[in-house]
Chains A and B, each alone.
Chain A
Amino acid sequence: DTEVTQTPKHLVMGMTNKKSLKCEQHMGHRAMYWYKQKAKKPPELMFVYSYEKLSINESVPSRFSPECPNSSLLNLHLHALQPEDSALYLCASSQQDGGSTEAFFGQGTRLTVV
């Protein structure tokens, strides 16, 4: 199983809503990532979890709150988002063995903030 599963595939939310994006992998990977991708742009790293601990936060606004409940799951909690936060949110995972590791990406959640 080399899949990273993201739910939901599409999400529309208002600026006062609270919602969560979910990501799951069963490859035994110990590093998990959230990326944000705007249209016609490359993915931009938001957060990295390593062994269920937050290791990198790329100065992401606090309205985005990541959570890693266990080694297979990664959540991104959303609250009070702005329309400019509309984007494709990609989850990825990789083995935790330094640089010689490849990241597997999910299909993404297309988020629209209205």
Chain B
Amino acid sequence: AQSVTQPDIHITVSEGASLELRCNYSYGATPYLFWYVQSPGQGLQLLLKYFSGDTLVQGIKGFEAEFKRSQSSFNLRKPSVHWSDAAEYFCAVQGAAGNKLTFGGGTRVLVKP
């Protein structure tokens, strides 16, 4: 069975500082990996995805993520956060065999002025 762990429930970062959100997955083969962002009461917006190829993927809003097979990780980074980045971030994994998307527990990001 596939699973995702996001070890940090909350992260507080100052505006302009760098941000890194951790994601560890469990899946028997090469997974398809995603990062989504959700503002309060809203739907989920896809930030970036990894299917294959280059392990460093670029996404929208200045985010990037690196796939590390040896560590079963897919951490999300942003060099300089903006107040508008305050939201809930979900890492998700999807297997090749089906359409089931499994989410991690989420990390809430708070941005201090």
Residue positions of A touching B, CB distance < 8 A: 4, 6, 31, 33, 40-43, 45, 48, 50, 55-56, 88, 90, 92, 94, 96, 98-108, 110
Contacts and interface: CB of A to CB of B under 8 A. Distances in A.
Contact of B99 (A4, A94, A105): A94
Contact of B103 (A43, A88, A98): A43
- Interface size bucket, B side? 20 to 34
Contact of A90 (B44, B97, B100, B104): B44
B17 interface: no
Contact of B96 (A6, A94, A98, A107): A98
B80 interface: no
A28 to B, nearest CB: 16
Which interface residue of B42, B43, B46, B97 has the most chain A CB atoms within 10 A? B43
Interface of B: 32, 34, 36, 41-46, 49, 51-52, 90, 94-106
Please give me the 3 A-B residue pairs with the lowest Cβ-Cβ distance, nearest first.
A99-B96, A42-B103, A105-B43
Contact of B100 (A6, A40, A48): A48
